[in-house]
Structure 1
Amino acid sequence: MGLFDFFRRPPTRAAFAQIILRQIAQHQLAPDCRYDSEQFRIVAAGVDGIIFNLDNAYRDYCAAPRQQRAAVVQQYLSIYSSPGMPSSFAEARASLMPVLRSRQQGDHLRLLAQAEPQRAAFVTASQDFSEDMVIMLAYDTQTNMATIGQASLTQWGVTFEQALAAAMDNLRDRTAQRFVAMGNGLLMGDWNDAYDSSRLLLPDLLYRACQGGEPLVMVPTRGRLLLASSNNAAAQLSMLALAEQLARDEGRHVSSAMYGVRQGKVVACQPADAGVAAALRRHRTIIGADLYNQQKLEWERLNASTGEDVFVATCLLIERQSGERVVSVSSWARDVHTLLPRTDVVAIELYDEHGERSGNKMLAWDDAQAIDGGLMEQIDCYPVRYRVRASPDPQSLAAVPACEI
């Protein structure tokens, strides 16, 4: 590596955090800020102090050309100088926008509130949209986009539905038909205003852009909307490949599902083509494993803060058929208090008559869940986990056929 290559390299996570701290101090944006290296964030003093999660900022900083990195930092630092939420709905109405977010965001905030009870909890306002996604509201300004909490709606004296109706009007007003061709009949939204994924909520727009057949859409990340025709399997496969790349490169995950329009309503759907359906299952399994393993880190931080002795199981992936098929696997250890992810296969520990471990038995999820009914307790979280405190008895386990991965 040459000298110039060294200077072009992006900073480490710790070095980036120091860049942010120096900027905060230099511009006196917030008092007594500290770097939390474990969770990669900047925390301001006080129960109402701003928490600046650095993951997205660091990703954008490293991806930007060197001459644009200072602007990236300044854009993110606007959270410290943005105006507060308006005191009335009339003031806020023109700046409301709908946003689509992964259900994981709400679960992250819930776990954070449990791990840090001394800090004021932020209660989100949202509406279910699909299995893995919710609709939320944002207050949009020239410098910042702030998520609206339930406290603001209560102060304004409006329901979520009333505020969403106003936000949808604003979204329509800001939406001309802007798509760019990506090849093979695949289209991608080209608004680049942080609300590309929100246009999934506009079925008329999707129909106008679709090139024959019914529109099929994915919103893998916050700033992306991908569209293909139900008549074009090649475009759908290209859509899945690009969705996987965007999820890996951009972060800010929103949804791994594919959506269509049924009776004027946008809903999650399954593609008709068998090859596309298999590719979608593979994509969702990979994204699901990543979400589970992010969740595992958050649960482990919570357990460390509360002292709870519970094992948070990992979601493992096994590839078959040269990567065309991916199977998720979790491990159910003997008599260990465990939080299990819902996986395709569960590996249950086996022991011989002397109590020595003799291997694992692989069971399909439904078969594992049916053993000795009641051993699995579903936990209210996303992605869903199941609490197990005991192992199946050997007789019940022996009666269930093993599955092949």
Structure 2
Amino acid sequence: MMRTTRRFVGLALVGTLGLGGCAGHTRATTRDARATEARLAEHSEEQEHPAPEQEQAERESFARRAIEALRASGETRDIHYDAGGFLLQLGGKDGSTVFLSNFFDEYLATAPEQRDEVFARLTRVRAMPALPETLAEARPNLLPVVRGRAFFEQLPLSIAWKPLSGFLGVGLAFDGPDTLRYLGPDELARWGVSFDQALGMAMENLRPRSTEPLEQLAPGTCESPWEDNYAASRLLLEEVVRRCQVKGTPVVLVPHRDLLLITGSEDEDGLHQVATRALQAVMAPRALDGRAMRLTPEGWVPFMPERLNNAWADFRKLELFSRARDYAEQTEHLEKLYREKGVDLFVAAYTPYQDEHGRSLSYAVWLKGVDAILPRTEVIFFMDPALGPEALPVGIARWEEVARAAGQLLAPVEGLYPERYRVKGFPSEEQLARWQNDPGDLLDEDGP
């Protein structure tokens, strides 16, 4: 995961900045388009963000140290570093995979004198637990795994999973002494069991490990006591969630794999408290997702407080941050894929924006003459590079309005999460003339 996804970003209003231009369908077009996005947004972060080249160098340095630690621990197999996936492949096709992102995040968050402990933990996961030949042998070690949907969608391995509430996913793991092993369709087929059958077995295994009482943050607001990598998975156990006596219907957040937060849909103070806790947790290594869910008879559905609720602003931050992180990881994945295929297609960024009053929106930049795929944002800025580097946007509009008036210019890209759209040309002068908006007029205060 890129370090940029660990911070909230505040952006200055468009219209006060100069804009760079780009032209032609060449490799330089993609570079210039990214530069235009950067010029459009003035980033205000808690600390200075390193240049992409510097961050890449830090990641490569970390990978080298990880390989050295593995060798020192006795690893003798071939080790291949996949920079795009930020992982180490140990051995051949049937070897082990060590994903480096979480360890790298922990490394950055750890004091220098304690960083050797990160590499010590990394070496303990080099050997995936061996899978039994039969379901009867495997069954006691099956456990459900809740992760962000983007994790499953972009994982370079075949993993058995299903969506949960739109932005999460549920997978299956074989729980070993030092690490867990995600299960794929091949393992389930070999054991002669369906995904839903195996998930039921996994949930039955999780129940006896979930008997501890919840920790009460306030009356009607609770958090999980478990730190075993499966705290988030307990949202699948309704009886655990209902141990928290809430006002209204249960609302949960799983901002971290070791944190399940529970409150009620009608508890304004509780909602504010869990949102504050979640804002901290999503910035930590091994974070999941900051968006909330509400329990209904049909299962978990996305939840957002009413706009007048004093917790709304924090829930809005969590939503924007989570979407931005998913899109940032997808952008990295797609750019690598297109480079490998020799495709010159610009993967436009999803950019969160917040003004000095806390009002917010998300936007993407649609550049005339650039072949691109756009993220699904709330607002689109239309740019014409031919007008020069100091030109302002030629149009600014909400996504819904663009879809109604020029929907034929946006084609959904099948099979992508989060969703993206391939641009087909550029709006007409007549259409752009309707979209001469001030960015401040489109902030969420006046939006849907």
TM exceeding 0.5: yes
**Counterpart pick for 1:346 among 380, 399, 408:** 380
Question: Aligned partners of 1:150 and 1:175: how far apart in 2?
Answer: 27
- Aligned partner of 1:377 in structure 2 is 411
> SS of 1:42's equivalent?
strand
Q: Is 1:59 matched with 2:94? A: no
Question: Aligned partners of 1:139 and 1:38: how far apart in 2?
Answer: 26
Q: 1:46 to 1:107 in 2, by over 3 A?
A: same
Q: 1:67 to 1:88 in 2, by over 3 A?
A: farther
**Counterpart pick for 2:332 among 276, 297, 317:** 297
Question: Aligned partners of 1:244 and 1:51: how far apart in 2?
Answer: 31
Question: Aligned partners of 1:304 and 1:347: how far apart in 2?
Answer: 26
- Aligned partner of 1:165 in structure 2 is 200
**Counterpart pick for 2:172 among 137, 141, 149:** 137
- Aligned partner of 2:294 in structure 1 is 260
Question: Aligned partners of 2:90 and 2:321: how far apart in 1?
Answer: 35
- Within 5 A, what are the aligned runs for 1:101-120? 101-109=147-155, 112=156
Q: Which amino acid aligns with 1:348?
A: F
Q: Is 1:78 matched with 2:124? A: yes
Q: 1:353 to 1:38 in 2, by over 3 A?
A: closer
> SS of 1:383's equivalent?
coil
Question: Aligned partners of 1:240 and 1:84: how far apart in 2?
Answer: 40
Larger relative contact order, structure 1 or 2 (CA cutoff 8 Å, min sep 6): 2
Q: Is 1:18 matched with 2:38? A: no
**Counterpart pick for 1:196 among 231, 239, 250:** 231
Q: Which amino acid aligns with 2:173?
A: A
Q: 1:136 to 1:56 in 2, by over 3 A?
A: same
> SS of 2:362's equivalent?
strand
Q: Is 1:95 matched with 2:141? A: yes
Maintained 8 Å contact 1:311/1:338: yes
**Higher mean C-alpha deviation, range 294-303 or range 152-161:** 294-303
> SS of 1:23's equivalent?
helix
Q: Which amino acid aligns with 1:265?
A: G
Question: Aligned partners of 1:187 and 1:67: how far apart in 2?
Answer: 35
- Aligned partner of 1:232 in structure 2 is 267
Report the TM-score, using the length of structure 2 for normalisation.
0.77
Q: Which amino acid aligns with 1:286?
A: F
Question: Aligned partners of 1:292 and 1:331: how far apart in 2?
Answer: 14
Q: Which amino acid aligns with 1:294?
A: E
Maintained 8 Å contact 2:220/2:247: no
Q: Which amino acid aligns with 2:361?
A: V
- Aligned partner of 1:316 in structure 2 is 351
Question: Aligned partners of 2:162 and 2:80: how far apart in 1?
Answer: 34
Question: Aligned partners of 2:162 and 2:386: how far apart in 1?
Answer: 50
Cα drift, residue 76 of structure 1: 2.8
- Within 5 A, what are the aligned runs for 1:354-393? 359-379=393-413, 380-393=415-428
Cα drift, residue 64 of structure 1: 5.1
Cα drift, residue 166 of structure 1: 0.5
Q: 1:64 to 1:320 in 2, by over 3 A?
A: closer
Question: Aligned partners of 1:178 and 1:191: how far apart in 2?
Answer: 10
Q: Is 1:208 matched with 2:243? A: yes
Q: 1:358 to 1:184 in 2, by over 3 A?
A: same
> SS of 1:268's equivalent?
strand
Q: 1:182 to 1:16 in 2, by over 3 A?
A: farther
- Aligned partner of 1:32 in structure 2 is 78
Maintained 8 Å contact 1:200/1:206: yes
Report the TM-score, using the length of structure 1 for normalisation.
0.85
Q: Is 1:329 matched with 2:375? A: no
State percent identity of aligned pairs: 28
- Aligned partner of 1:7 in structure 2 is none
Which runs of 5 or more residues in structure 1 are unaligned? 1-10, 113-121
> SS of 2:406's equivalent?
coil
Q: Which amino acid aligns with 1:52?
A: V
Maintained 8 Å contact 1:179/1:188: yes
Question: Aligned partners of 1:239 and 1:311: how far apart in 2?
Answer: 38
> SS of 1:328's equivalent?
strand
> SS of 1:299's equivalent?
helix
- Aligned partner of 2:308 in structure 1 is 274
Maintained 8 Å contact 1:30/1:80: no
Question: Aligned partners of 2:409 and 2:387: how far apart in 1?
Answer: 23
Question: Aligned partners of 1:63 and 1:24: how far apart in 2?
Answer: 21
Question: Aligned partners of 2:263 and 2:158: how far apart in 1?
Answer: 36
Question: Aligned partners of 1:264 and 1:288: how far apart in 2?
Answer: 24
Maintained 8 Å contact 1:311/1:337: yes
Question: Aligned partners of 2:399 and 2:434: how far apart in 1?
Answer: 15
> SS of 2:422's equivalent?
strand
Q: 1:30 to 1:389 in 2, by over 3 A?
A: farther
Q: 1:357 to 1:49 in 2, by over 3 A?
A: farther
- Aligned partner of 2:19 in structure 1 is none
**Higher mean C-alpha deviation, range 55-64 or range 279-288:** 55-64
Question: Aligned partners of 1:67 and 1:397: how far apart in 2?
Answer: 57
Question: Aligned partners of 1:218 and 1:98: how far apart in 2?
Answer: 17
Cα drift, residue 402 of structure 1: 3.8
Question: Aligned partners of 2:122 and 2:107: how far apart in 1?
Answer: 10
Cα drift, residue 133 of structure 1: 1.0
After superposition, the C-alpha distances for 1:47-69 in whole angstroms (9 at most, x for unaligned) are 44433221211223454577865
- Within 5 A, what are the aligned runs for 1:120-135? 122-135=157-170
Question: Aligned partners of 1:358 and 1:207: how far apart in 2?
Answer: 53
Cα drift, residue 70 of structure 1: 4.6
Which runs of 5 or more residues in structure 2 are unaligned? 1-56, 443-448
Q: 1:349 to 1:128 in 2, by over 3 A?
A: same
